[in-house]
Amino acid sequence: MSMEASQTRLQSAWLRLTPNQRGAVWMIGAATGFTLNSALVKALGQADFHPFQLAFLRTAIALLALLPIIWRGGKEGLKSRHPGIHVIRGVIGGGAVVAGFIGLTLIPLADFMALSFTTPLFIILLAVLLLGEKVRWRRWSATMVGFLGVVVMVRPGAGTLELGALCALAMAFGIAVASTMVKRLPAEETPLSMLFWFSLSATLLTAPLAALVWRAPNVGEWLWLIVMGVLGAGAQFLIIRAYKVGEATFVAPFDYSKLLIAGAIGFFVFAEVPDLWTLAGAAIIVASTLYIARREARLQSDGPESPPVPPS
């Protein structure tokens, strides 16, 4: 089979997916990028880079990575009729990056990733309150079951809400707000425009903080810092695509795929072996996201003749 024929078949299969299913694919890709980014931040933090400097370099390198795309596509794609929303998203997102990087330096990677799974819960609440999205009881139930899986894995107890954990939760909420704001933008706002203005605003926010703690990287460290920035930019682009294509309440639970990715990285890179509680929580989370995907596919295949499920 020729390469062109393979590309045609892949494109045909992609077009057969519903908007929500496409959003789920974008979200899984974003989760992979963000998890790899977090692992790099953890490693660089252990190499005595301050979270302020890492946050600045993360956003600045992501901004630089966009310049060739902007140069090729032209400045027209950066125009926006809603610059205020972009700036607010950038400031909130930049604050979330700083909080998250501080959390990564204070608590284990697995704990950090587990706490980041509260983002979908925040997004669903914000989507209902701010966007007026309707959530059927089955999706509510599956989402709450997924959150229960996070609780099983974390097993909250005395000392859980330390500074690192609070920073991780602040990051989760900030990401949820920034992600929900994507839906407030009109359809003509391009992902490139949103990503550019987000990166620019976050870079300007973190630059003064980084200046206070700056440490000159060596050549090898610069390489990893660049990889960190590119991964962050790519993951941010994918998450924008996910929320622009699909409903926030459907797409958000697929962020739980970070759990499996983080577990694999922990095992193969850091020699971390998950305990039975972690495996049980992972099984619950995966089951809930698979149920949501199958339920959506069934509703789409039933067509308009299927009786609607009353929203909760």
Higher pLDDT, 36 or 130: 36
Domain-embedded: residue 7? no
Q: Domain range for residue 180?
A: 28-302
Strand, coil or helix: 281: helix
Domain-embedded: residue 5? no
80-84, 133-137, 202-206, 301-305: lowest mean pLDDT where? 301-305
Number of domains the chain is built from: 1
> If we measure between CA atoms, which residue out of 85, 17, 19 comes closest to residue 251?
19
Domain-embedded: residue 19? no
Q: What is the pTM of this model?
A: 0.76
Domain-embedded: residue 21? no
pLDDT of 216 above 90:
yes
**Cα-trace Rg, the chain:** 20
Domain-embedded: residue 212? yes
Domain-embedded: residue 308? no
Cα separations in angstroms, 189 against 4, 213, 237, 310: 31, 36, 13, 32
Instruction: Report the pLDDT value the prediction gives residue 177, as an integer from 0 to 100.
Output: 92
Instruction: Report the pLDDT value the prediction gives residue 53, as an integer from 0 to 100.
Output: 95
* Cβ contact 168:103 at 8 Å: yes
> Which residues, in sequence order, are CB contacts of 155 under 8 Å at separation 6+?
277
Q: What is the pLDDT of residues 71-107, one digit of tens each?
A: 776 666 677 777 788 889 889 999 999 999 999 888 7
Most confident range, picked from 68-82, 123-137, 287-301: 123-137
Alpha-helical segments (H) within the chain = 3-16, 19-46, 51-73, 83-106, 109-116, 118-126, 137-154, 163-182, 191-213, 219-245, 248-251, 258-268, 276-302
